[in-house]
Amino acid sequence: MYRYDEFDQEFVNERVAQFKDQVRRRLSGDLTEEQFKPLRLMNGLYLQLHAYMLRVAIPYGTLNSKQMRKLAHVARTYDRGYGHFTTRQNIQFNWPTLSDTPKILEELAEVQMHAIQTSGNCIRNVTSDQFAGAADDEFADPRVYAEILRQWSSLHPEFLFLPRKFKIAITGAPQDRAAVQVHDIGLQLTQNEQGEVGFVVFVGGGLGRTPMVGRKVRDFVPEKDLLSYCEAILRVYNRYGRRDNKYKARIKILMHETGLDDLKQEIETEFEAVKHTFLDLPREEVDRINAYFAPPEFAALPAVSDVFEAEKATNPAFANFAKRNLNGHRAPGYTSVTISLKPIGGAPGDATDEQMEVVADLAERFGSDEIRVSHEQNLVLPHVKLDDLPTVFKILQANGLGTANAGLVTDMIACPGMDYCALANARSIPIAQEISERFEDIKRQQDIGDLKIKISGCINACGHHHVGHIGILGVDRKGEELYQITLGGSADENTSIGKIIGRGFPADEIADAVEKVVEAYLQHRESAEEPFIETYRRLGDAPFKEALYGTA
């Protein structure tokens, strides 16, 4: 994985020193809260309901065991013994003090981590496929380009005060696991007829109060033009994006108000002006960055592992895990393991310091020292030998990390909601917990099959409810929590925005409602092979409305 060079390290160290001084001046009264707030936000420090919250960047969700151990250390030493992994593949600590934060950032800098650009109206952490560099369906490793974009966007002088935040995602596989079409810029690695590497470019996707699917602005941007093209998009956005209304400030609104053809024209015109300049991406530079992401040396193994097959045949819990939590690997005899952070009844995305240590140990012993965070709030060991999997699973299981539910109904995304967040109107985590308990039976979960439930505690949609097969949005109605259900959302290569099915449900009825929707699916699916989203797309709202309201 990428390692800081002297410039990166110096830049991060300087930033820590700068923030340390800003905190000192705030505490002495030299800076007012009004002056200090944007400074702390630029360093990922929010003030939430109960305490400060520090959001630490995990670039494109990739980290090594040393970094994971540092996160565990921060959780243990400065927080309450846990961290929360987020849909931007980052981690949030919910209880740090302002006075400890400079020290935390100093410690993070020791392992090449920071919290820069995890907040504010700038380009945020570039997200990617959690199986990057490992997946058997991958065309090229997207992290190489994610890293190039990270370097380009870090402290980019033109783009630190954009009209609003800006999110980029990139995938290198045809099966989109990075939700690229709901990002401000979504990049899909591809090649042209000449076999040259390039990108399909989507612009103007996003969730929040105005969900939109990104529009394709280019079928092919050559690799060398990646930065020039992104620079052109950002310049157009920076110039025309609205600054008068923060709810209309994202590029999706600019796309909507300007229209695809006109905005494309603006981007192309700007691109003509910036291309063939210093932003050209030389092949040597791509190769240099590529070398950081060279795959580990894989042993020559048979595709079928006797050890793995034998364990599967005799250990039902292992067989369940193997059924759901493994992703096809490019090297025979290897697999990518999803470590679910969605135990039954747990808070989605939370991991204790001990669990982080366990994952770090496993990565070191069995996983080429690599760990990933998925946007679905799980962890991944991307390179594990099938032969080692029985041992890995035993250790995971012993530490509450062996839940065999990846992609199943209990593998939900949920934002922190009103239990932590100052913006939320309703709680999310207790809803996720209740649904999780409701569907605890693993046989039932497996029978239901692929089903993504996503829960947000307010219209800002941090829980991605718009793109949940079943989405749940918590709102405040006259002081009571009320939950709206949307159906038919999806964030893969066939991205769609879910539709509100009807009136909402109070907190104590929402799990029942979800269960009714699931039962209606089971009743109406053509076969066990037809997943929920396909049944919905085939039949539309009607059977689900009928099940919920009896009013088809």
Return the closest-CA partner of residue 156 out of 169, 168, 144: 168
Q: Which stretch binds other proteins (CB under 8 A): 47-55, 123-131, 216-224, 328-336?
A: 47-55
Q: Does 26 help bind other proteins (rule: CB under 8 A)?
A: yes
Q: Are 127 and 169 in contact (CB under 8 A)?
A: yes
* Selected binder of other proteins within 137, 419, 492, 546 (CB under 8 A): 419
Q: Are 330 and 319 in contact (CB under 8 A)?
A: no
Q: Does 47 help bind other proteins (rule: CB under 8 A)?
A: yes
Query: Whole-number minimum distance, CB 417 to other proteins, in Å?
Result: 9
Query: Whole-number minimum distance, CB 99 to other proteins, in Å?
Result: 6
Burial track 147-182 (b if 16+ CB lie within 10 A, e otherwise) = bbbbbbbbeeeebeebbbbbbbbbbbbeebbbbbbb
Q: Token pair of 415, please?
A: 């934002």
Q: Does 35 help bind other proteins (rule: CB under 8 A)?
A: no
Query: Whole-number minimum distance, CB 116 to other proteins, in Å?
Result: 21
Q: Does 430 help bind other proteins (rule: CB under 8 A)?
A: yes
Q: Does 29 help bind other proteins (rule: CB under 8 A)?
A: yes
Residue whose CB is less far from other proteins, 51 or 279: 51
Q: Are 69 and 377 in contact (CB under 8 A)?
A: no
User: Could you tell me the CA-to-CA distances from 533 to 71, 186, 528 in Å, in that order?
Assistant: 36, 22, 13
Give the integer Cα–Cα distance in Å for 71 and 93: 9
Q: Which stretch binds other proteins (CB under 8 A): 70-78, 155-163, 238-246, 421-429?
A: 421-429
Q: What is the strand order of the sheet 45-47 is part of? A: 45-47, 52-56, 91-93, 82-85, 350-352
* Selected binder of other proteins within 5, 10, 14, 27 (CB under 8 A): 27
Give the integer Cα–Cα distance in Å for 33 and 438: 45
Please report, as residue ranges, which positions from 305 to 364 form the binding site for other proteins (by CB under 8 A). Answer: 347
Query: Whole-number minimum distance, CB 97 to other proteins, in Å?
Result: 4
Return the closest-CA partner of residue 462 out of 488, 429, 503, 439: 429
Query: Whole-number minimum distance, CB 18 to other proteins, in Å?
Result: 20
Cα dihedral angle (212, 215, 221, 225), rounded to 10 degrees? -50
* Selected binder of other proteins within 195, 282, 479, 550 (CB under 8 A): 479
Q: Which residue has the tokens 């049944």?
A: 535
Q: Which stretch binds other proteins (CB under 8 A): 48-56, 259-267, 273-281, 488-496?
A: 48-56
Q: Does 245 help bind other proteins (rule: CB under 8 A)?
A: no
Crossing angle of the two packed helices 251-258 and 226-240, in degrees rounded to 10: 80
Q: Does 99 help bind other proteins (rule: CB under 8 A)?
A: yes
Binding mask 365-404 for other proteins (x = CB under 8 A): ----------------------------------------
**Residue partners of 84: CB distance under 8 A and separation at least 6:** 91, 92, 93, 94, 347, 349, 350, 416
Q: Does 481 help bind other proteins (rule: CB under 8 A)?
A: yes
Q: Does 478 help bind other proteins (rule: CB under 8 A)?
A: no
User: Could you tell me the CA-to-CA distances from 106 to 23, 42, 111, 115, 135 in Å, in that order?
Assistant: 13, 16, 9, 11, 35
Please report, as residue ranges, which positions from 432 to 451 form the binding site for other proteins (by CB under 8 A). Answer: 433
Residue whose CB is less far from other proteins, 137 or 476: 476
| Binding stretches for other proteins (CB under 8 A) | 26-29, 32-33, 47-52, 80, 95, 97-99, 347, 418-420, 424, 427, 429-430, 433, 479, 481
